[in-house]
Amino acid sequence: MKDKIVIITGASSGIGRALAFEFAARGAKLVLGARRLDLLQNLRESLAPAEVLIQQSDVSVEADCRSLIDAALERFGRIDVLVNNAGISMRAIFEEVELDVIRQLMDVNFWGTVYCTKYALPHLLKTKGSVVGVISIAGYVGLPGRTGYAASKFAIRGFLDTLRIENMRKGLHVLVAAPGFTASEVRKVALTADGQAQGETPRKEEKMMSAEECARHIVCAVAKRKRELILTFVEGKLTVFLGKFLPKLLDKLTYNHMAKEPDSPFK
């Protein structure tokens, strides 16, 4: 990763922030995008002496995505890695959720990935670089209470898998990274049925994989140009395995597991 130009969306917190530190530790030059400029400014200071460009951007806005890519090119002249990490979650059953919540999930998670990848792709083809999509185990199995989240992550996986096949003779590397439950603020800001932030996480964050460990795995997968990364054994690899070979059993296990959350929206 030495002197590679790496763009990370959703870089102000959680996995995105941890990725910034991990790439910087390996000598990369960073372009960091997020909505919260103050957090980006603090992050840039913390990353010194790494070379870092920050850009306030909302990935649900196409023009912001284009500006982020343009800023990277203006500063560094090329792009080697694009990490589509920005994302939001939700927690409400579909029967009760407002449709605008689903739209917001798709706008940020799916369309944000599409927009950034669209504008970065010509430049990544020149460098035979990497496109990374940080999805979730929810991109392999439907999580009850998170219809919009799972739909957006399934969509990202389908989009990136297809992009990989289209460009398999052009040297483009495409990685779909699926963490299991990872300690971050994503559950605190998850949207409820009316679009308000949840405020508190329903899960024990201290028992989850840390964002730093997750970032190390993702950066290693980029360096090795892997096509897929599924993290954690029980909630990750075993879940995907059961989805392929025992899907009916997985449905029951998933329902029972998610129903145990405090204040679960379904029972």
Between 151 and 235, name the one with better pLDDT.
151
**Beta bridge mates, 8:** 32, 83
pLDDT surpasses 90 at 172: yes
- As a 3-state breakdown, the chain gives helix, strand, coil percent values, each rounded to 5, of 50, 15, 35
How far apart are alpha carbons 180 and 6 in whole angstroms?
24
Say if residue 139's pLDDT is above 70. yes
Q: What are the residue boundaries of the structural domains of the chain, listed by start? A: 5-236
Helix (H) or strand (E) holding 31: strand 29-34
User: What local confidence, expressed as pLDDT, does residue 145 receive?
Assistant: 93
- Quick one: pLDDT band at residue 85, thresholds 50, 70, 90? very high
Spatial separation of the C-alpha atoms in residues 37 and 176, rounded to whole Å: 27
| 5-236, CATH topology level | Rossmann fold (3.40.50)
Rounded to the nearest integer, the mean pLDDT of the chain is 93
pLDDT digits (tens, 9 = 90+) for 7-66: 999 999 999 999 999 999 999 999 999 999 999 999 999 999 999 999 999 999 999 999
Residue 198 near residue 189, CB atoms below 8 Å: yes
**pLDDT value of residue 202:** 60
Confidence (pLDDT) at 190 = 87
φ/ψ of residue 146, rounded to 5: -140, 45
Helical H segments across 112-146, by residue range: 112-127
H/E stretch holding 30: strand 29-34
Starting at the edge strand that comes first in sequence, how are the strands of the sheet with 130-134 ordered? 52-56, 29-34, 5-9, 81-84, 130-134, 173-178, 228-230
Q: How confident is the model at residue 205 (pLDDT cuts 50, 70, 90)?
A: low
How far is residue 116's CA from residue 134's CA, in Å, rounded to a whole number? Answer: 13
Rounded Cα–Cα distance for residues 34 and 28 (Å):
19
Residue range 206-212: mean pLDDT, rounded: 83
Which of 94-108, 117-131, 173-187 bottoms out in mean pLDDT, i.e. has the lowest? 173-187
Backbone φ, ψ for residue 218 (5° rounding): -65, -45
Q: Hey, is 130 helix, strand or coil? A: strand
pLDDT at 203: 58
Going by pLDDT thresholds of 50, 70 and 90, the confidence category of residue 238 is very high
What would the two tokens of residue 226 be?
Answer: 């892997």
Where residue 185 falls among pLDDT bands split at 50, 70, 90? low
Catalytic residue set: 149
- The predicted pLDDT at position 175 comes to 98
pLDDT reading at 206 higher than 80:
no
What pLDDT is recorded for position 267?
72
